[in-house]
Chain A
Amino acid sequence: MKNEQFASDELIFESTISKKMYSSLRRNYFIRLIILYLLPFAFIIIYFHYQYNDLMTKSREMHLMSVAENQSRIIDIFLYERINNILSIIQSPDYKYPIDKKNLNDMLQRLKRNSDAFIDMGYFDTTSIQLEYSGPLSFLEKKEYGNESWFKDLVLSSNNFVITNIYQGLRKTPHFTIGVKLTKNNKRIIFKVSLDPQKIYKYMTSFEKSNDVYILIVNKESIYQLVPNEISSPMSRSPFITSKLSGIGIDEFKLNKEKRTFAFSWISGVDWAVIVIEKEFSIKSYYNLKIELILSSITILLLLFLIIIIRSKNIVKTEKEKQIAKHQLEQASKLATVGELASGIAHEIGNPLNIIANEVGIMQDYANPKFNSSKTLNDLELNFKKIINAVYRIKDINNKLLTFVRKNENELSECNFNEIIEDLVSGFLEREMKVDNIEIIRKYSKNFPTVLSDNNQMKQVLINLLNNAHDAIEGSGQIIFVTSFDSEKIYISVSDTGVGIPEDKINKIFLPFYTTKPVGKGTGLGLSVSFSIIKNLGGSIKVESKLGKGTTFTIEFPLNSKI
């Protein structure tokens, strides 16, 4: 029977809370989760993505610049050392001027010991004809250099040396020339030393450990001076135009219409700049990393999105289950309340049943010839009336009982709590209390305003409070109902002169299944369900208790309550 009752209640419940309501609940929850979790997370991901990008770009630029700076120092030192090599050798006291071929060969040998970049060496006196030549290209001997720009520059320069840009010159192969002039025996003499670009490049790059960059050198006209074969050849025009003509920096150039970054560092002694660019694979690996990051971010966001969808579906499911459980709890509590009332009810039904049995019995007696009764049917009117009264008493109890078990949904109506209390208390409950020497005292407020509430549910609450008050009273005592109101609220209080609630237990009394009553007497549901009923109806309940003096429960409802 009980199970059937619950099952049918659930069906009613399912149908009353419509699918529409659940879908709107799910939608609200979904939106809330998106706003609460997904959006902030997405913002964080995008923010960190940009931050990371920025950081990566800066660190890459720093890397390029540091390589460029190092390389420019190396070249600077290299050139400085080479000039010093040349100057110290040609000014060595070992050689007597004018020098001969043997001297020149010896000088070149000594230079080559300092650096393998030295190719050959030539000697000029006051004329522009190379008098002596030492090196592999013997056809250069006795050649006229007066038209070579470096030669003209050196003759006119106040400096005692020049370093050329890369050029082909008479030998038709790209090379650098260092020209040095000095005065010996009041005569101007010039030495010409040529340097191998490939050797210089090899020397320079041997100091750079990272293999993810290309290092090259351009002059002020953006002509390649030193450049790896994969990129271009020396003396061709480069796309690198630096924003400054000294110091170090970062700039952009176009490669196949794509913007790329390069670092530059100007070399102090010559008008060259070291240019550093990233190799293709390093750029690619950087882009791959970026794409991986974006993909994993998107994956995380998608996962989160999926979790949110599942969560919002589940929340509706648990909400449904919660509602059903709450509903079952309320139902169980109602039945429990009825159970707690059972002994009183049994007594109350028992009495009219006794009366009926007795009245019928006495009529049997009248009809029994043994007693020789002279009663006629007219004389029995009083007996019939007593029977009918007894039947109505049972019916009354029956009706009151049903109000506790029947209703599940809020049935709102304008309620006058004075009437509700009176209706509840008068009759069998009061008689039952009287049997236990408990006096019920009413202190009803006059002109008590009505509020929108649920008559039957509130009766259940009041019955619970009445039962608790009853159980709290040992021996004789009083239960006092007081109604009052102010401009905002109405107040209904139920006080007893019972044992009171200890301070350590008063916090727990509204918890489900918490009871201080002996096993079998209380379910611990009464107050918890009363609490939820009152809350559902927009009110509140509080408790005050003094040990040994009694307990007062006060229910409050706002006057213009909107539930």
Chain B
Amino acid sequence: MEKKVKLLIVDDEIDFLDTIALRMEMRGFEVTKAPDGFSALESAEKNKYDIVLLDLKMPGINGQEVLEKIKNKNEGIEVIILTAHGSEEVSKETTELGAFCFITKPIDIDRLVTVIRLALESRQKNEIIIL
């Protein structure tokens, strides 16, 4: 049996967070939910995640900060940005901070799964290159 991919989903919109988590679980992912940036960082410290799905606009610690810290502390983690509106600015800023890519809301779930697969593949390739 294949090892489950560990997802951390960070979004301050609880309803959204609940459903997306459920849908990802239905697709065979192991999901942890974080309702704000602080609990996301806390959670990332305790557990090792493969992929982080991260909202940008959040009270307290915003998405950019979370992205920066998670990428610094967790080697080999891939962050996919979930944003309400995609713009070149956001794309440039987040990729500079190390995000894998960004997906605009509302989420097309199949597309999200595909992107996650791509991110995982790219991580494996990177690891090989690094090794």
Contact = CB atoms under 8 A, between A and B. Distances in A.
Interface string A315-352: 00000000000000000000000000000001100110
A435 B13 CA distance: 11
The interface size bin for chain A is: 20 to 34
A351 B23 contact: no
B23 A350 contact: no
A383 B15 CA distance: 10
A299 interface: no
A357 B106 contact: yes
A361 B13 contact: no
Contact of B19 (A351, A353, A358, A373): A358
Given A351-B13, A355-B13, A437-B60, A365 B26 contact: yes
B23 A358 contact: yes
Task: Give the interface centre of A357, A358, A390 by most chain B CB atoms within 10 Å.
Answer: A358
The secondary-structure label for the interface of chain A is: helix
A354 B105 contact: yes
A383 to B, nearest CB: 8
Interface residues of B, number: 20
A361 B109 contact: yes
B58 A435 contact: yes
B85 A354 contact: no
A373 B26 CA distance: 9
A362 B84 contact: no
Contact of A361 (B12, B19, B62, B84): B19
Contacts of B57: 347, 435
A355 B58 contact: no
Contacts of B19: 355, 358-359, 361-362, 383, 386
Interface of B: 12-13, 15-16, 19-20, 22-23, 26, 57-60, 62, 84-85, 105-107, 109
21 contacts: A346-B85, A347-B84, A351-B16, A353-B106, A354-B16, A354-B107, A355-B15, A355-B16, A356-B106, A357-B105, A357-B106, A358-B15, A358-B23, A361-B19, A365-B26, A371-B26, A383-B19, A386-B19, A435-B58, A437-B59, A437-B60
Interface of A: 346-347, 350-351, 353-359, 361-362, 365, 371, 373, 383, 386, 389-390, 434-435, 437
Given A356-B106, A358-B19, 18 more contacts: A351-B84, A353-B105, A353-B106, A354-B84, A354-B107, A358-B15, A358-B16, A358-B23, A358-B106, A359-B15, A359-B19, A361-B19, A361-B109, A373-B26, A383-B19, A386-B19, A435-B12, A435-B59
